[in-house]
């Protein structure tokens, strides 16, 4: 009996173990299967170094076809740290999107050289049809230009000299006519040589190769031909006009005038034919592969290859794989370099997806164009250009006409956004007879009003203004009123502080975005944003009853007893920042002329001053119009966006929210909401979101009252269990 009992017990144990093993194996298999299809990775690092930024995730979510990232270089010359960090980010990309693949090509090896040659051949074959068509068209145009060059040297020039010989040199007028024909003949010979040289250069461009693969540079060939053909057409038009005028002189009719009339007709015919050729050359679309040909010719490349109809995008290899010296000098941590690589890759992919990036026109009231000479918005320009956004300057004081965009947008498909930079209204005229700050502000305000009324989308930044203190309206009021917004430009917000018994008045504020559902707020969320000399904004609604206007506050400042609208601000404004502590009469709140609460009085409820508002204007007869009004002026200049602070042995941006605000505002005004998200570079420092006063009060009460109460309840429960 004991033996049978032992056997049964062993059998039960064996069965139990078998069932347990089978269940564990099945569970493991099921978990492995689920993990291969669904993945979840939780990043608990302070800097978010183990996850992709929201902007990157949005870009990857738009991919619906395969995209390949190829990095080809001599990897023996690359710092191993840079390669590892690039590989980490690329692996994260492939985990986040099934449409992303990547490969490394070591061009120093024989296999790598073959792979690079295959890559070039693959790129060329993707656009073989358009390259073949353009090759045939350019060869045809080269024939027409060669014929024109021959005509210049063998027909036009000799016939011009013949006419010169038929004009008697008997007076100053006739000698001037002879000089004209002599110079016109010489110009024709020079243009003939220029046309022939352009044809030679175009032929060389058509024979260009990369890695032994023929890759005709049709863009360079067409550019060389166009550069030579344009002055030739101008010369023909000039000859047509002057020869026709000469042939029409009544008192010298004869062989010379007859010959001039016939030659004018020939010049006119050649001009018309050449103009057709020039138009075809200028409208020749640049194949996508030629946009990266310089990168390919260097023998090293970092490329994002989209579908053939979308094309390819090149990435600066030195930025993607920085040198050892750069890594050592900057002390860039792994998370910093990962974000740098992620920014480069996501922007390159986004540039392929967005074929119509916005054009930003920066309007200002200064008496001259200065953006190319003064490094005022260099960081902003670099960031926008990195994303394909072109920045144009419009000095509204010099011209009322916007800068032309045809050269960068021939088909006029790209959205145009207008941003303003306000002048200092308290400034005198910079020179005798020049315009004062008030006059320049009035001209800029007139331009903004015209743009608003014509349906343009605007990013308006405003300065404190002296005009309301004189009882006059601010020049920017009409443009803002079009969107139902008013501003206290005559009374900027100031804040009083007392430190160690020393009173100070502050005009600089560091804020974080309001918690709204607006896409611009999402791009700025949790990021410090610096606002100097803030102007309070108010959403009043549109005066036009047939128009519906919506407003969203993006940035606001809590109203408090130590913060107020100050009317006597001019002396503080005109005093340099480092000398303000010497002022003996700092502004003080005056109940008769200043304001302390947005609603005019203390209601006992939390009140906030709106400093940035996004507005949308809906009407039945016009497309939706958008505007973003910022109650500050210099918030996007280099002096603010370039500020850095030390953190954990490295330097990080002090005000990352400013550039995020500007970039998000441009995308929103351009109607490209799907591209708005926080960029990887904004996460350089761990940010703790501010706690609202009400929430902080509840937390304090929970800690003070809740913990003792919880301890008491736990004691009572324990007492009940012991009974």
Q: Judge whether residue 543 has pLDDT over 70.
A: no
Give residue 683's pLDDT band: very low, low, confident or very high (50, 70, 90). low
- Say what angle helices 110-126 and 128-151 make with each other, to 10 degrees: 70
Residue 686's pLDDT is: 53
Helix (H) or strand (E) holding 196: helix 172-206
**What is the rounded average pLDDT of the residues 664-684?**
82
Dump pLDDT digits (tens) for 477-498: 999 999 999 999 999 999 998 8
- Structure-model confidence comparison of residues 682 and 555, the more confident one: 555
On the question of pLDDT at 230 being above 50, the answer is yes
In DSSP notation, 25-64 reads HHHHHHHHHHHHH--------TT-TTS--HHHHHHHHT--
Q: What is the mean pLDDT of residues 617-627?
A: 89
Q: Is the pLDDT of residue 702 over 60?
A: yes
Segment 230-252 shows an average pLDDT of 86
Q: What is the C-alpha to C-alpha distance for residues 406 and 416, in angstroms, rounded to an integer? A: 12
Confidence of residue 684 (pLDDT cuts 50, 70, 90): low
- Whole-angstrom distance, CA of residue 609 vs CA of residue 565: 10
Task: State residue 692's pLDDT score.
Answer: 59
**Which segment of 63-67, 82-86, 686-690 scores lowest on mean pLDDT?**
686-690
The distance in angstroms from the start CA to the end CA of the chain is: 47
Q: What pLDDT, on a 0 to 100 scale, did the predictor assign at position 47? A: 45
Residues 635-667: tens digit of each pLDDT: 999 999 988 887 666 677 888 899 999 999 999
Q: What's the rounded mean pLDDT across residues 67-83?
A: 90
Check pLDDT > 50 for residue 2. yes
Q: Is the pLDDT assigned to residue 685 strictly greater than 60?
A: no
Determine the average pLDDT of the residues in 393-419. 89
Mean pLDDT, rounded, for 119-129: 84
pLDDT computed for residue 723 by the predictor? 63
The secondary element (H helix, E strand) that includes residue 537 is: strand 537-539
Q: Transcribe 109-156 into DSSP letters.
A: SHHHHHHHHHHHHHHHHHTHHHHHHHHHHHHHHHHHHHHHHHHIIIII
Mean pLDDT of the chain: 85
Beta strand ranges found along 246-317 (DSSP E): 301-305, 312-314
Taking the CA atoms of 574, 578, 580 and 582 in sequence, report the sign of the dihedral they define. negative
Query: CB neighbours (10 Å) of residue 207?
Result: 11
Give the model's confidence band at 49: pLDDT under 50 very low, under 70 low, under 90 confident, else very high: low
CB atoms within 10 A of CB 532: 17
Cα(218)–Cα(18) distance, integer angstroms: 72
Whether residue 75 has pLDDT greater than 50: yes
Q: What's the pLDDT score for residue 46?
A: 43
Output 288 or 650, whichever has higher pLDDT. Answer: 288
Higher-pLDDT residue of 462 and 722 is 462
Does the pLDDT of residue 408 top 60, yes or no?
A: yes
CA angle centred on 632, ends 626 and 637, rounded to 5°: 95
Whole-number pLDDT of residue 119 = 85
Q: How large a percentage of the chain has pLDDT more than 70?
A: 91
What's the average model confidence in pLDDT over 430-446? 86
Residues 6 or more apart whose CB falls under 8 angstroms from that of 160 comprise 181, 182, 184, 185, 188, 263
69 pLDDT more than 50? yes
What does the block give as tokens for 412?
């006029």
pLDDT for residue 661: 94
Q: What would the mean pLDDT of 37-53 be, rounded to a whole number?
A: 58
Least confident of 121-135, 281-295, 679-693: 679-693
**pLDDT score of 450 more than 90:** yes
Q: Retrieve residue 691's tokens.
A: 């706690």
**Residue 682 — very low, low, confident or very high, per pLDDT cuts 50/70/90?**
low
State yes or no: pLDDT of 252 exceeds 70: no
pLDDT > 90 in the chain, percent: 35
pLDDT value of position 652: 75
Give pLDDT tens digits for 311-368. 888 887 877 888 887 777 666 566 667 887 888 888 888 888 888 889 999 999 988 8
Cα gap 53→678, rounded to integer Å? 7
Q: Tell if the pTM clears 0.75, that is, is over it.
A: no
What is the structure's pLDDT at 409? 82
* Across 209-223, average pLDDT: 86
Q: Which of 34-43, 272-281, 466-475 has the highest mean pLDDT?
A: 272-281
State how far the Cα of 473 lies from the Cα of 360, in Å rounded to an integer.
28
């Amino acid at each position: 009996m004991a033996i049978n009992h032992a056997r049964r017990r062993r059998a039960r144990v064996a069965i139990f173990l078998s069932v347990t093993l089978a269940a564990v194996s099945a569970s493991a298999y099921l978990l492995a299967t689920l993990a291969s299809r669904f993945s979840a990775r939780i990043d608990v690092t302070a800097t978010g170094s183990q996850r992709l930024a929201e902007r990157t995730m949005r870009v990857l979510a738009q991919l619906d076809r395969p995209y390949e990232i190829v990095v080809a270089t001599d990897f023996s010359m690359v710092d191993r740290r840079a390669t590892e960090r690039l590989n980490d980010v690329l692996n994260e990309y492939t985990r986040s999107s099934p449409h992303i693949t990547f490969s490394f090509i070591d061009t120093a090896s024989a296999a790598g050289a073959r792979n690079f040659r295959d890559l070039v051949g693959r790129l060329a074959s993707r656009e073989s049809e358009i390259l073949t068509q353009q090759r045939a068209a350019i060869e045809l145009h080269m024939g027409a230009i060669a014929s024109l060059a021959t005509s210049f040297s063998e027909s036009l020039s000799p016939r011009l000299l013949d006419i010169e010989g038929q004009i008697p040199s008997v007076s100053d007028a006739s000698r001037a006519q002879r000089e004209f024909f002599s110079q016109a003949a010489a110009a024709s010979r020079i243009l003939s040589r220029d046309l022939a040289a352009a044809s030679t250069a175009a032929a060389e461009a058509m024979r260009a190769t990369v890695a032994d693969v023929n890759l005709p540079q049709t863009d360079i060939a067409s550019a060389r031909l166009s550069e030579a053909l344009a002055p030739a057409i101008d010369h023909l038009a000039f000859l047509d006009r002057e020869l026709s005028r000469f042939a029409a002189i009544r008192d010298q009719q004869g062989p010379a005038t007859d010959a001039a009339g016939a030659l004018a007709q020939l010049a006119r015919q050649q001009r018309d034919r050449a103009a057709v050729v020039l138009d075809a050359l200028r409208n020749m679309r640049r194949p996508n592969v030629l946009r990266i040909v310089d990168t390919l010719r260097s023998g090293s490349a970092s490329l994002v290859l989209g579908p053939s109809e979308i094309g390819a995008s090149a990435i600066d290899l030195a930025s993607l794989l920085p040198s050892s010296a750069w890594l050592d000098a900057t002390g860039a941590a792994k998370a910093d370099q990962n974000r740098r690589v992620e920014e480069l890759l996501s922007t390159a992919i986004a540039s392929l997806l967005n074929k119509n990036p916005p054009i930003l026109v920066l309007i200002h009231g200064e008496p001259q164009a200065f953006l190319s000479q003064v490094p005022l918005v260099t960081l902003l320009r670099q960031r926008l250009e990195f994303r394909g956004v072109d920045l144009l300057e419009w000095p509204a004081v010099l011209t009322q006409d916007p800068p032309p965009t045809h050269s960068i947008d021939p088909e006029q498909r790209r959205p145009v956004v207008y941003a303003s930079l306000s002048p200092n209204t308290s400034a005198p005229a910079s020179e005798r007879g020049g315009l004062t700050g008030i006059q320049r502000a009035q001209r800029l305000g007139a331009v903004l009003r015209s743009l608003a009324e014509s349906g343009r989308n605007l990013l308006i930044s405003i300065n404190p203004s002296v005009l309301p203190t004189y009882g006059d309206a601010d020049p920017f009021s009409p443009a803002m009123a079009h969107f139902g917004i008013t501003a206290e430009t005559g009374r900027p917000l100031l804040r009083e502080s007392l430190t160690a018994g020393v009173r100070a008045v502050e005009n600089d504020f560091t804020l974080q975005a309001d918690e709204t559902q607006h896409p611009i707020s999402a791009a700025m969320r949790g990021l410090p944003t610096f606002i100097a000399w803030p102007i309070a904004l108010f959403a009043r609604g549109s005066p036009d009853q047939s128009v519906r206007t919506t407003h969203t506050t993006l940035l606001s400042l809590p109203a408090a007893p130590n913060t107020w609208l100050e009317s006597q601000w001019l002396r503080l404004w005109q005093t340099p920042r480092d000398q303000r502590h010497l002022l003996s009469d700092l502004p003080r709140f005056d109940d008769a002329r200043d304001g302390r609460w947005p609603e005019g009085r203390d209601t006992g409820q939390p009140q906030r001053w709106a400093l940035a508002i996004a507005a949308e204007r809906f009407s039945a007869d016009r497309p939706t119009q958008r505007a973003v009004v910022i109650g500050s002026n210099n918030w996007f200049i280099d002096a603010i966006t370039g500020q850095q602070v030390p953190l954990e042995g490295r330097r990080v941006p002090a005000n990352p929210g400013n550039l995020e605000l500007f970039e998000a505002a441009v995308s929103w005004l351009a109607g490209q909401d799907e591209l708005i998200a926080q960029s990887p570079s904004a996460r350089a420092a761990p940010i703790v979101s501010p706690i609202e006063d009400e929430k902080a009060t509840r937390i304090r009460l929970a800690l003070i009252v809740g913990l003792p109460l919880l301890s008491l309840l736990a004691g009572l429960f324990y007492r009940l269990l012991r009974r």
